[in-house]
């Protein structure tokens, strides 16, 4: 795999009470490092891609630890060391009828302190093929929205393929601008987009009907953002905190493809399932550029496996994903 | 919430092997503190009620630890410090076809040593509104049955609302009296009762037919105990140790109401699910005295959530319970 | 239970990442000791049988620890102390669509170093009633296949009942001989055999049709190995790594009996489920020699319970198994 | 003990890698709640005092958890629920030559967001006898320095005894004012002060000579702050991260008393040792107002025991401290 | 080693908070099984002796678990299965100035329920060579004192060598008789006795002077109990909860031998150090009957090693003990 | 730091029982990855050097995990993926008089399977400045000794500085050659050597007198191996398993320098202390080529800190080491 991929975003320390304990009660936390774009990058690196991750961390043990974790997956971190704190989020695993809870504690982090001009995009994008970003970065501060635009312009100028995950988190958008005021200006640079119909108006400022078909929704998006070539959306049905059914659709500028669906009966950790999908998608688009259905199936199978793995990052190999995609059952012990 | 609630019972140290290990094999135990009436009190305190818990513990580190745990939930313990040991129970979590096991080790505990006259009920019940007890206390020693009666008389005299959970545990009734010889004399003081048809003859000495409707059963109970105004029963279907369906019924002296049912697909810990129901019921009866259906739904939703929480105590807040009652799904991560 | 049972095989240190972690990521391992024949022996000892386990371990702390574990179940180990290492296997627990993985690391172990003449079978089999072995031993080295034959001849000469589990693991057969070249010569000594239709050609060199009935398959086996009196096969349906349905069949030289099936909704640990079945079968054949159906139901119930127990060994008692066999549900907490 | 004590400060979530792991490497954290003034309050409550703790926490699970922890010790929290985050600090336990490390992550916490006028001091101090605060609060923000002054004026007006711990932490004073510009204005209200000669110039703006006797230093302090009646200082000798010798001195407006010294050969956790001393001092001053030597010995013994207890808080009882103070050795197991 | 040894006593479940946590605060317990006489037996079995342990446990999972633990060391348990509970003790590990604490919870245990006539001593002692008991058994109930006498008479009649550890625990002697009223009648049967000068009056009813030499003390004991041939006493100096110096003396009916002393700088777990000494002593007396000094050195080295091993039982081998006895240093890693 | 360093050796999975448990008893293992040369490389990378590590691992999850661990420190692994198993060693932490134990289980590992010609040394050494190897590799198989020679010749040809640690482990040399037959032929290529007087005859075939001065010993070595420019030796005094005193000497072809000594009172983990020294030495020789004393002090301080850090690898930064070297005490918490 010779394509070089750049991802950009915040890496956070995740703290989770073990064994379904509640945040209120737990006196132990399991630590993972993750974040939407870091998760995509790590999974791609584990698939064998050449990945760099652009971020900012404080110059202390926790910042070093986050970078060390990235390196362990084979990701090369490019980190501006500044600011005072590593962003944190607390994740309380749900069970059955009790939903999982995420408590963000990322205000005033080193990453949130990044500003336009602090990163030399031209150097970073030199010789790179792909740039991946997500809406989370733009939601954190206005400076980060501006910085995202700076990155997108540079990537566009150098001809990189650009992918984004809208990743709309209403509680994060609180610096005074709405997502719909910011995101369209950034999405226009994208070739590949992951988003759902719920995001259409709130994120992209594109109104859709309640019962509008996804084909129609994606065509509206394409009209608004003509550079888009691939649009995907993931779906989750019949879900409680411990089990659900997942699937996805992909619109390849021509038609809408539907993936196989997986009934996931026992969820170990669903954080990062969307990022696992995104990594699978990018891997597929690069590896099988002609075969959208295969790419879609790979992405969904990757996302399915992520639900069985603790932490934010899909630790599955290409072999693991391919086996599931090809019909292997989880019911046989591999010896 | 200004109602003041008194609960009375034993608080035990619960020791559980972690991660589905068996008692036979485990060399680590997770410690929780709990007990039927303490669990009701703690849940009510977490719902915002003013709760006192009357008990007895030894004057040692474990007794102090049990009281500390109660305080942590906002419960004010009123403990007679005497006797030599804190009662213990071992709980082996089951899985699928393997049933959970409780091994009681509460003989000769400080609580089991309590006797009539050791508690100043008049002081405790002064300015209180509600008294909750359960059949477990009466099952432990004859002295505790007598003491329960002393409490009930005092509470009645002072006009408190009285609730009880029959909590019939055959293996605990072994001091020479049958439940049916003791319990009716205590239940006569109750306004609110939680029990099932199985308990009718064994606990209340009221014979019922195999296929008798619950409406009819509860009318018989009412006839025998005319003070009863609310009678509830919980149900569990299709159960194995890891999943089941729960629901409940409530008879409000007029008609029989049925709750929504919840299929709980992944049980984390079912101990205390009945106590969570009882706390929800008391909370509802106090908060929405006019709306029995709402109260019943609240109680069942509370019990449902308890199945997802390790330990004896339902750590859910009013918001958590209300969200589930109003249809929120466990399948969406709260961010 | 006065029957004396001898089992023979390797005992391994099993290392498993906790809580569904992956081998790649885990920095903690849970240690269990187990192995197909040791598991059968330990379960039989826990059922109250008199069991000896013949093996070889190195003369170091880990060898001693393995023997200590066997003793803890009441098994008397007869171990040749030689060689340099205890065999190890790593087990990564799967979840839902992610399959479990076993990584064997048993090459050059003390057991793999055993040779004909190192064990005094005559002494061991003296006064014994039953000998159990499995195809795993024969798969490891040619010396072990020869040693297995030596044991079988001695056991036959002394009139022991002989049982075997084919336990066909393709990745283990790599010393240059195929299973079908070795196993028939050993199976000829057996009275009782556990195997599946998949094993017929690869293990026993007996061709069968794709859709051949098990009754027909077993009759072919009987024809080839006329000493066989009881043949059993276990089945697993609709399986993912977390749930499945199990059942079994038994052919008693007359007709094919089918067991009840169990839907196991939450698998804790499926390693050793076949060994638990085998132990149940041996126990049943000894205890209820006339009642094959009862024996079969006991064996399946034992195997079902094993799925709920961490580690390789079925820690269930005769009471536990009998209760399930008689219809007890896992849904009721035993107090 | 009928004296009512008010303490005021921040309560933080402390996260520590277990078993001497480093922050850089650990993927598990042990959680404790603590903070200089909370630690003093909790220890006093465990000594049997009536303690309230004034603070601010966010209205989320972690804020609730911090308050729950305080309640578990018998402290009544008075918390302004506002702001977005609970302050955090990471503590890496040292060993031998490797020093412990504290990484503060308390910027922008709910407590740091407190301002003058948000707390009704008159209500809080009504019927109270003692007010304890520390220099940490004043170091965090200028608003907190102003709020501290507001509290001190109210406490003075109502005649409470006032104690303070200078607790000089250079890295915390970074809002643009030096400690010496802020602290003297606050210290003037104090009756009891804990501080060291190092703090004299930096904190109190009082120059001292390199080799000036503590008697002389304290007389200078008294001259500057005439309300001071008791001044104490703790000492630590021959220290590495695992062992040291501690002692203390007390100047009671007349003469300088010296405590017994303790060689602590195995430190379990030294965080909070100063707070344990302070709690012991307040307890002694209230309990034995005539006996400064006894008070000093009690305070040092309390601090000594804290070194053996994980977490921030001295969990020792009056009996534990008194036994050590009276010469009991740690070398005898109490049965 | 062909000598057959019988030990008799209670085996308890020990529950300890991990990592120096306090009982008050810990919500996890490490479980060990132990008891003075069981510890002696297990250590002797690990030294290669043939050991049986006579006891009583309840017929439940914890009773089975205790017996399983004994078997794991190679001890053959002979257990009367009766009564309702396994005795428990809580052990809070101390550190430096904080002493360890033992909280006994063994009242009403199965063992405490044993009575004369429940054990067939003649069968047990048949072909045995040595009987070891301790004063703890006699301290628990009067029935157990009587039962101890029954055992001693039987053992004497059959000519076994008899050893005892006085193990004087004042808090256990509370059934109305003083140790000095009971113990002399039992000690008269002993050939070997472990005790200290503190026990002389309280346990043996033999007055000694404050400054009386141990030689003189032991001569007085010998005079009173003429059967005594070997008397030993262990010593502990300069102790805090984490470090101390140990040594021992042995009087062999002729002269007083002194052992080497060990400075134990880091105590891991000192529970059972006396039992480890006793096991070493018995092993030595059997193995080197002529060499009292060697026996004494072996016993002290065994006790020294026990301080480094978690749990009640000295897991050291003969090689481990001999190496230390012969001057090996703990400072060299064995590879 | 622009010097490029190549290290070569085996990386092993280390399995350690936690909290001073013994291998015999522990049912949990902590996993670390390490090995003499990997430890040197990881420490150098953490000091900021550019490090590659040449090794061989199996193509499975454990091999990948070992490489991932190396990457996490910033080391670039160059691994031949072949063979069937990752080498393992078990490490039982000692305490006080109980020595630590290492149980090697590295026979037949992927690394042990390496042969001459499998590694392209010319490519690896291109542009590199330094090559570090150790005697452990040569001890494992004759092929590895030959391969080591191949590497040394290539490194010499390309003009790299070459360092070695004799690392004499008698139990590893068992393929039929003595260290003294193999090592001199390899040591002749070295510029820098770490070894002790004990190794002189056994490893280098150079006889020395019992009381010969180190200066004289090192001169003899120099005479034999004229390329040597720096010879170092580490020392350990007054050691038990929990505490000792360390120091080192350096002979710089002119005179013998002695380092400061450190009394390490509480050892957390001493494995890798020599490798930490070696990494410090290489770092110093590169950074301060003129200042041997500074280099020596840095190396000893690095080794001292390693004793406080769990696992094989010295996680200390240059700042940490420099602070200790400059006299900072472990007794002050860094805030």
Which residue from A131, A135, A137 is spatially nearest to A112, judged by alpha carbons? Answer: A137
Q: Is residue F331's pLDDT more than 50? A: yes
In this prediction, residue B1 has a pLDDT band, given cuts at 50, 70 and 90, of very low
CB pairs under 8 A between B and D: 16
Tell me how far CA of residue E56 lies from CA of A187, B27, E139, in angstroms: 75, 21, 16
Helix (H) or strand (E) holding D5: strand D4-8
Q: Which residues in chain D are closer than 8 Å to A65, comparing Cβ atoms? A: 23-25
Q: Give the contacts of C19 (CB within 8 A, at least 6 positions apart).
A: A18, A19, A310, B19
Kindly state whether residue C331 falls inside one of the protein's structural domains. Answer: no
Work out the number of other CB atoms within 10 angstroms of the CB of residue F202: 16
- Residue E178 CA neighbour count, 13 Å, CB half: 8
Helix segments in chain B, DSSP class H: 36-46, 61-72, 121-125, 135-140, 142-157, 179-187, 199-204, 214-224, 273-287, 292-306, 318-325
Kindly state whether residue E236 falls inside one of the protein's structural domains. Answer: yes
Q: Do D30 and A28 touch (CB under 8 A)?
A: yes
Kindly state whether residue E184 falls inside one of the protein's structural domains. Answer: yes
Work out the number of other CB atoms within 10 angstroms of the CB of residue D242: 28
How is residue B198 annotated by DSSP? Answer: T
Residue whose structure tokens are 């009790």: A98
Structure confidence at residue E332 (pLDDT): 93
Residue B87, helix vs strand vs coil: coil
Q: Is residue F307's pLDDT more than 90? A: yes
Chains that touch A (3 or more CB pairs under 8 A): B, C, D, F
Structure confidence at residue F238 (pLDDT): 82
**Alpha-carbon distance C329 to C271, whole Å?**
23
Q: Do E308 and F98 touch (CB under 8 A)?
A: yes
Q: Do D328 and E104 touch (CB under 8 A)?
A: no
Compute the average pLDDT of residues D203-223: 96
In this prediction, residue B239 has a pLDDT band, given cuts at 50, 70 and 90, of confident
Structure confidence at residue E285 (pLDDT): 98
Kindly state whether residue C335 falls inside one of the protein's structural domains. Answer: no
C265 touches chain B (CB under 8 A): yes
Q: Do B28 and E26 touch (CB under 8 A)?
A: no
**Alpha-carbon distance E124 to E213, whole Å?**
39
Chains that touch F (3 or more CB pairs under 8 A): A, C, D, E
Q: Which residues in chain D are closer than 8 Å to A88, comparing Cβ atoms? A: 88, 105
pLDDT in tens, E214-269: 999 999 999 999 999 999 999 998 889 999 999 999 999 899 999 999 999 999 99
Which chain B residue's Cα is nearest to D320? B61
Q: Is residue C1's pLDDT more than 60? A: no
Q: Which two tokens stand for residue B271?
A: 């101990």
Kindly state whether residue F334 falls inside one of the protein's structural domains. Answer: no
**Alpha-carbon distance F43 to F75, whole Å?**
9
E18 touches chain F (CB under 8 A): yes
Q: Give the contacts of F234 (CB within 8 A, at least 6 positions apart).
A: F194, F196, F246, F247, F248, F273, F274, F277, F300, F303
Which chain F residue's Cα is nearest to E265? F96
- Kindly report the average pLDDT of chain D as a whole number: 97
**What are the helix and strand counts (H, E) for chain C?**
11, 14
Compute the average pLDDT of residues D228-245: 95
pLDDT in tens, F176-218: 999 999 999 999 999 999 999 999 999 999 999 989 999 999 9
Q: Do B69 and D74 touch (CB under 8 A)?
A: no
- Residue D27 CA neighbour count, 13 Å, CB half: 15
- Kindly report the average pLDDT of chain F as a whole number: 97
Q: Do C241 and A268 touch (CB under 8 A)?
A: no
Residue whose structure tokens are 């695993």: A93
Angle between helices A318-325 and A292-306 (to 10 degrees): 110
pLDDT in tens, A172-184: 999 999 999 999 9
F268 touches chain E (CB under 8 A): no
Which residue from E334, A65, E320, D20 is spatially nearest to F271, judged by alpha carbons? Answer: E334
Structure confidence at residue A329 (pLDDT): 87
Residue D223, helix vs strand vs coil: helix
**SS3 track for D148-173:** HHHHHHHHHHCCCEEEEECCCCHHHC
B14 touches chain E (CB under 8 A): no
- Kindly report the average pLDDT of chain C as a whole number: 97
Compute the average pLDDT of residues F35-49: 98
Alpha carbon of F322: minimum distance to chain A alpha carbons (Å): 17
In terms of residue numbers, what domain contains B67? 4-325
pLDDT in tens, D114-172: 999 999 999 999 999 999 999 999 999 999 999 999 999 999 999 999 999 999 999 99
- CA E142, E144, E147, E149 torsion-angle sign: negative
Q: Do C330 and B240 touch (CB under 8 A)?
A: yes
Residue F201, helix vs strand vs coil: helix
Structure confidence at residue C54 (pLDDT): 98
User: Are the beta carbons of F4 and F127 closer than 8 angstroms?
Assistant: yes
| Sequence-ordered strand ranges (E) for chain A | 4-8, 12-16, 28-34, 50-57, 76-81, 88-92, 101-105, 130-134, 161-165, 192-194, 230-237, 244-251, 256-258, 262-264
Going by DSSP bridges, is the β-strand pair E28-34/E192-194 parallel, antiparallel, or unpaired? unpaired
User: Are the beta carbons of F218 and F231 closer than 8 angstroms?
Assistant: yes
Q: Give the contacts of A136 (CB within 8 A, at least 6 positions apart).
A: A9, A10, A35, A36, A37, A167, A169, A172
Work out the number of other CB atoms within 10 angstroms of the CB of residue A209: 9
Q: Which residues in chain F are closer than 8 Å to D238, comparing Cβ atoms? A: 331
User: Are the beta carbons of C246 and C264 closer than 8 angstroms?
Assistant: yes
Which chain C residue's Cα is nearest to A32? C25
**Alpha-carbon distance B41 to B316, whole Å?**
13
Compute the average pLDDT of residues B34-39: 98
Q: Is residue F1's pLDDT more than 70? A: no
- Chosen for mutation from B61, B71, B90, B102 (greatest number of chain E CBs closer than 10 Å) is B61
pLDDT in tens, D253-268: 899 999 999 999 999 9
**Alpha-carbon distance E190 to F230, whole Å?**
67
Q: Which residues in chain A are closer than 8 Å to B266, comparing Cβ atoms? A: 95-96, 241-243, 266
Phi-psi region of B211 (alpha: psi -120 to 50; beta: other; left: phi over 0): alpha
Compute the average pLDDT of residues A240-252: 97
Structure confidence at residue A111 (pLDDT): 98
How is residue F101 annotated by DSSP? Answer: E
Q: Is residue A1's pLDDT more than 60? A: no
- Kindly report the average pLDDT of chain A as a whole number: 97
Q: Which residues in chain B are closer than 8 Å to A19, comparing Cβ atoms? A: 18-19, 310
Kindly state whether residue F164 falls inside one of the protein's structural domains. Answer: yes
- CA D192, D195, D200, D201 torsion-angle sign: negative
Kindly state whether residue C333 falls inside one of the protein's structural domains. Answer: no
Interface of B with C in 102-131 (CB under 8 A): 102, 104
**Alpha-carbon distance B209 to B232, whole Å?**
19
**Alpha-carbon distance B25 to B319, whole Å?**
40
Q: Is residue D33's pLDDT more than 50? A: yes
**ipTM, two decimals:** 0.96
Alpha carbon of F295: minimum distance to chain A alpha carbons (Å): 25
Q: Do D73 and B68 touch (CB under 8 A)?
A: yes
Q: Is residue C153's pLDDT more than 70? A: yes
Which chain E residue's Cα is nearest to D32? E25
Residue whose structure tokens are 């630790």: A315
Structure confidence at residue C238 (pLDDT): 82
Q: Give the contacts of D327 (CB within 8 A, at least 6 positions apart).
A: none
pTM, two decimal places? 0.97
**What are the helix and strand counts (H, E) for chain D?**
11, 14
Q: Do B333 and A239 touch (CB under 8 A)?
A: no
F99 touches chain E (CB under 8 A): yes
User: Are the beta carbons of B318 and B48 closer than 8 angstroms?
Assistant: yes
Interface of C with A in 286-315 (CB under 8 A): none
pLDDT in tens, F44-72: 999 999 999 999 999 999 999 999 999 99
Which residue from A167, A107, A114, A178 is spatially nearest to A136, judged by alpha carbons? Answer: A167
Residue E319, helix vs strand vs coil: helix
Q: Is residue D1's pLDDT more than 80? A: no
Domain CATH code at residue B296: 3.40.1190.20
Phi, psi (rounded to 5 degrees) for C334: -85, 120
Kindly state whether residue C64 falls inside one of the protein's structural domains. Answer: yes
Q: Which two tokens stand for residue F289?
A: 């080529």
**Alpha-carbon distance A185 to A177, whole Å?**
13
Q: Do B97 and C308 touch (CB under 8 A)?
A: yes
**Alpha-carbon distance A38 to A60, whole Å?**
19
User: Are the beta carbons of A118 and A43 closer than 8 angstroms?
Assistant: no
Which chain E residue's Cα is nearest to B72? E25
Pick C26's closest partner by Cβ from F24, F31, F108. F31
Structure confidence at residue F239 (pLDDT): 86
D95 touches chain E (CB under 8 A): no
Percent of chain D exceeding pLDDT 90 equals 97
- Residue F149 CA neighbour count, 13 Å, CB half: 12
Q: Give the contacts of A327 (CB within 8 A, at least 6 positions apart).
A: none
User: Are the beta carbons of F329 and D100 closer than 8 angstroms?
Assistant: no
Work out the number of other CB atoms within 10 angstroms of the CB of residue E264: 29
Tell me how far CA of residue B137 lies from CA of B6, B115, B144, in angstroms: 15, 12, 6
Q: Domain tally for chain C?
A: 1
């Amino acid at each position: 795999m010779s394509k070089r991929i750049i991802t950009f975003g915040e890496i956070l320390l995740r703290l989770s009470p073990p064994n379904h304990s509640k945040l209120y009660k737990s006196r132990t936390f399991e630590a993972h490092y993750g974040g939407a774009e870091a998760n995509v990058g790590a999974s791609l690196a584990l698939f064998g891609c050449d990945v760099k991750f652009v971020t900012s961390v404080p110059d202390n043990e926790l910042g070093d630890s986050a970078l060390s974790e990235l390196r362990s997956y084979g990701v090369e971190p490019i980190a501006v060391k500044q600011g005072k704190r590593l962003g944190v989020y607390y994740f309380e695993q749900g069970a059955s009828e009790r939903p999982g809870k995420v408590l963000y504690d990322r205000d005033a982090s080193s990453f949130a302190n990044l500003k336009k001009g602090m990163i030399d995009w031209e150097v970073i994008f030199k010789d790179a093929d792909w740039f991946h970003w997500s809406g989370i970065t733009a939601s954190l501060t206005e400076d980060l929205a501006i910085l995202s635009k700076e990155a997108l312009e540079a990537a566009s100028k150098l001809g990189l393929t650009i992918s984004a995950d809208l990743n709309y988190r209403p509680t994060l958008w609180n610096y005074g601008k709405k997502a719909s005021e910011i995101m369209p200006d950034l999405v226009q640079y994208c070739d590949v987009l992951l988003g759902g119909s719920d995001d259409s108006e709130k994120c992209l400022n594109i109104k859709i009907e309640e019962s509008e078909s996804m084909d129609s929704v994606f065509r509206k998006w394409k009209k608004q953002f003509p550079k888009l070539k691939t649009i995907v959306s993931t779906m989750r049905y019949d879900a409680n905190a411990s089990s659900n059914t997942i699937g996805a659709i992909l619109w390849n500028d021509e038609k809408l493809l539907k993936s196989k669906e997986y009934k996931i009966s026992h969820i170990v950790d669903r954080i990062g399932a969307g990022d696992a999908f995104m990594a699978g998608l990018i891997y597929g688009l690069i590896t099988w550029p002609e075969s959208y259905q295969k790419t879609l199936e790979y992405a969904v199978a990757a996302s399915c496996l992520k639900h069985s793995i603790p932490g934010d990052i899909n630790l599955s190999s290409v072999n693991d994903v391919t086996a599931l995609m090809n019909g292997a059952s989880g019911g046989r012990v591999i010896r």
